[in-house]
């Protein structure tokens, strides 16, 4: 069989693999590991012992969750996302000025609700859609 003929016969298999990858879900163990990482970052911030890294990480998750909600994966009021983002901005400013990296109680509660929604998204959104949303969230935040 010639090379061009074998490539032609492989095309349906390749298309099937790409289609299957489009609906592939994140394995539960991977979702749990990600969830633990961002929930611990929020807990450290909530306890008043956070860092720029912790705040940046949970803010990235906030942006990703927002993009996924906008794409139809879950519901959460836009005003709540905006309030959480404003609270994060105040925490960034305070952290840079005073070196104190924490979230105010109301902001931490909003982040907790958003992170719980993201936990659900990790288990219900195809990996390909999470990757696309992640790129879009990074572009929105200028990262």
Would you state the pLDDT for residue 142? 73
Query: What is the domain range of residue 46?
Result: 26-141
Q: Quick one: CA dihedral 99, 101, 104, 106, positive or negative?
A: positive
- DSSP-assigned beta bridge partners for residue 126: 25
With respect to residue 12, please indicate whether it lies within any of the assigned structural domains.
no
Would you state the pLDDT for residue 59? 97
Query: Residue 15, Cα to own-chain centre: how many angstroms?
Result: 28
- Residue 142's closest CA among 55, 50, 56? 56
| Pair of tokens at residue 139 | 């572009």
Q: What is the number of structural domains in the chain?
A: 1
For the stretch 108-140, pLDDT in tens is 999 999 999 999 999 999 999 999 999 999 998
For residue 95, report the phi and psi dihedrals to the nearest 5 degrees: -65, -40
Cα angle value 133/125/67 (rounded, 5°): 30
Regions of the chain where pLDDT drops below 50: 1-9, 13-14, 17
Would you state the pLDDT for residue 143? 55
With respect to residue 13, please indicate whether it lies within any of the assigned structural domains.
no
With respect to residue 52, please indicate whether it lies within any of the assigned structural domains.
yes
With respect to residue 100, please indicate whether it lies within any of the assigned structural domains.
yes
Would you state the pLDDT for residue 83? 98
With respect to residue 16, please indicate whether it lies within any of the assigned structural domains.
no
With respect to residue 65, please indicate whether it lies within any of the assigned structural domains.
yes
With respect to residue 90, please indicate whether it lies within any of the assigned structural domains.
yes
Would you state the pLDDT for residue 19? 59
pTM score of the predicted model: 0.84
With respect to residue 62, please indicate whether it lies within any of the assigned structural domains.
yes
């Amino acid at each position: 069989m010639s090379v061009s003929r074998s490539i032609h016969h492989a095309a349906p298999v390749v298309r099937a693999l790409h289609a299957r990858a489009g609906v592939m879900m994140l394995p539960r163990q991977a979702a749990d590991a990600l969830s633990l990482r961002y929930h611990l970052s929020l807990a450290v911030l909530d306890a008043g012992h956070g860092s720029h890294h912790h705040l940046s990480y949970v803010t990235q998750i906030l942006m990703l969750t927002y993009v996924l909600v906008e794409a139809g994966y879950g519901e959460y009021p836009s005003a709540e996302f905006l309030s959480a983002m404003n609270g994060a901005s105040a925490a960034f400013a305070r952290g840079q000025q005073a070196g104190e990296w924490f979230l105010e109680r109301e902001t931490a509660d909003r982040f907790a609700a958003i992170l719980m929604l993201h936990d659900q998204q990790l288990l219900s959104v195809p990996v390909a859609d999470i990757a696309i949303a992640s790129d879009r969230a990074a572009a929105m935040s200028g990262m």
